[in-house]
Structure 1
Amino acid sequence: MSATARTSRRTRRPPRFYFSLRSPYSWLAYRDLLQRHPRTAVALEWVPFFEPDELSRNLLAEAGGAFPYTPMSPEKHRYVLQDVRRLATERGLAFSWPVDRNPVWEVPHFGYLAAARHGRGPEYITLAARARWERGQNICDRSVIAGFGAELGLDPEELAAASDDPGMRAEGVRILLEIQRDGVFGVPFFVDHYDKYWGVDRLPAFVAAVTAKNPSLAEPPDDPDDPDAADDPGGRLAEPERSVDDGHAGGCG
C-alpha cells in the first residue's frame, strides 16, 4: 500500500468523542456538546470508555491489550466532588451523586452499544445521564437499564443483558483496543486525527479545530428572538434528590 493510500485511510475516520456514562465530566461535556455545538456533535464518532470487568480484562489480555487505568487518590476524589458541583452550578444544572456499589460498567455501556445498533444511541445516553446524574440511580443495575427500553421503543432485555452477549463482548474488546491505540487515559477525550484533547475545558479548542477543517459544522449566530435557543438538550432537569457520596477508587475524569 502506498503512503498516499495509508494517509487517505487514516484521514477518512471522523473525529472521536470518548465518553463514559460513569464520569461527571463526560456528562458535562455531553451537555455542552449538544447544547452549544450540535452540528459538530452529529459529525463525531461517539466511543464509550468503560473500566473492564474480569471477563473483559481477560479477553483484552488475550488480544494483546491493556487498559490504561490509574486509581484515584482520596484527595483527587474530594476535589472532583467540589469541582463538578461548581461546573454544574455554572450551567444551572441540578444533580445527585449516585451510588456505585460493585459496579459492572459493561452493563450500561454495552446497553448503549445495543441501543446504538438500532439508531437510538443519543437517546440512550440522555436517559442514562438523567438516571445517574439527576436521579442518583445505579445505572449498573440491569433493571434500571431495562427501564430505558419502553422509552426507546427497544427490547428491555436486549439492553439489560447486552453484557451477556459474546458478540457484544468482542465489540467491547475492539473498543478497549481502540482506547489503547488512541492513548485515551481519561474522559472526556477528543481525538481529531493526530490531535488529542482531554477534559471538558478542551471542548471549545477541539470544536474549533474540527470546524476549521469543515466550516459547514460551524454553528450559526444565536438568534436572540428564538425562544428555543437555550433549550435543555437532555430534557427538563429534575429537582435535586438526596446527594450521596459513595466514593470509588477509579478516576472519573
Structure 2
Amino acid sequence: MSPRRPPRLYFSLRSPFSWMALRRLEERLPNARELIEFVPFSEPDAESAAALEAAGGEFHYVAMSKAKHLYILNDTKRLAAKYGYAMKWPIDKGDEWWDLPHLAWFKAGELGVERAYYDAVMAARWERGENICDPEILRRVCDEAGLDGALLVAAPDEEHIRKQGLEALMRIYEDDIFGVPYFRLGRHRFWGLDRLDDFLDALEGTLAPAADDPLAGVPRELRERTGSMDHDTAGGCG
C-alpha cells in the first residue's frame, strides 16, 4: 500500500489571503511546516508556461475583474484590522515577474533558509508595500535579512530550480487548484482563508497525540487557551 500523502497547502507570495492564512495557521499550529507540505502557487512566466504546456498541463487561474479587485481591497483591509495585522497594500502594475520570488523560495529551501526568506519577503510586500518581483528590490530585501540576495535572485537561471517550479505547476494542474490559500487533506479540500478552521478541525482528527503528551485528549480549543501565554507572535482567492 502506498503511503498516504501529507496534508498540502498551496500558497502564494502574491495573495493577501494566503499571507493572512499562513500567519493564522502558524499562530494556531506552530509546527505547521513540519506537518504540512507547502507548494507555491505562482503565475508562470513565458519559460515556465512553455514547459508546463509541453508537460501536458495548464494554469487554472483566471485574472480577476476590476470589480472583484476593488472588493478584495476593501475585504483585505477589513480582515487585516480584524486580525490586528499591520498592512500596506502594494501597487501591482500587472506585469510583475511572479516566478522570480517563488523560484527563489525553492532556492531558499535548498539553502536551508526557506523560513527566513518567506518572512523577509512577506514583510516587504505586505507590511511595506514593496515590489518583490523587482530583482534589485528582492536582492536588497534578502541582503537586509542576512541572506544571499544575489544567489536567491539568480534562482530562475538554475535549471534544477526551474524543474522544481514546473513540478509545482503540474501539482497545481493535477490537483485542480484555482486559487489560494488551498488546503488538501486526503480527499478533503478547503479553499480560502475562511476555511482554515475547517482544515484544522479535519487535520486534528488525523494527528495522534504523543504518548507522553500531558495534553493528550484535551480539546484543541483548550489547548490553545493553555498555550496562549507562550505564543505571543502575530501570525478566498487573491
The TM-score, its normalising length taken from structure 1, stands at 0.83
Kindly provide the CA deviation profile for residues 97-140 of structure 1, in whole angstroms up to 9, marking residues without a partner as x. 11223211111001111111122212211111100011000000
CA RMSD of aligned residues (A): 2.0
Could you say if the C-alpha distance between residues 161 and 229 of structure 1 is closer, same or farther in structure 2, counting changes exceeding 3 Å? same
The answer as to 2:20 corresponding to 1:28 is yes
Could you say if the C-alpha distance between residues 56 and 225 of structure 1 is closer, same or farther in structure 2, counting changes exceeding 3 Å? closer
Report how many aligned residue pairs link the two structures.
Answer: 227
Q: How does 1:1-253 map to 2 (within 5 A)?
A: 5=1, 8-9=2-3, 11=4, 13-101=5-93, 102-150=95-143, 153-216=146-209, 220-223=223-226, 226=229, 228-233=230-235, 253=238
Kindly provide the CA deviation profile for residues 182-224 of structure 1, in whole angstroms up to 9, marking residues without a partner as x. 1111000001111110000101111111110114396834248
State the 1:148 CA deviation: 4.0
- Residue 243 of structure 1 corresponds to none
Could you say if the C-alpha distance between residues 36 and 221 of structure 1 is closer, same or farther in structure 2, counting changes exceeding 3 Å? closer
Equivalent residue letter for 2:119: T
Task: Measure the CA separation in 1 of the matches of 2:208 and 2:75.
Answer: 33
| Helix, strand or coil at the partner of 2:190 | strand
Could you say if the C-alpha distance between residues 124 and 225 of structure 1 is closer, same or farther in structure 2, counting changes exceeding 3 Å? closer
For structure 2, the residue ranges without an aligned partner over 5 or more in a row are: 211-219
Task: Measure the CA separation in 2 of the matches of 1:221 and 1:194.
Answer: 27
State the 1:47 CA deviation: 0.6
Could you say if the C-alpha distance between residues 56 and 223 of structure 1 is closer, same or farther in structure 2, counting changes exceeding 3 Å? same
Could you say if the C-alpha distance between residues 222 and 182 of structure 1 is closer, same or farther in structure 2, counting changes exceeding 3 Å? same
| Helix, strand or coil at the partner of 2:38 | strand
Task: Measure the CA separation in 2 of the matches of 1:188 and 1:134.
Answer: 19
For structure 1, the residue ranges without an aligned partner over 5 or more in a row are: 234-250
State the 1:30 CA deviation: 0.9
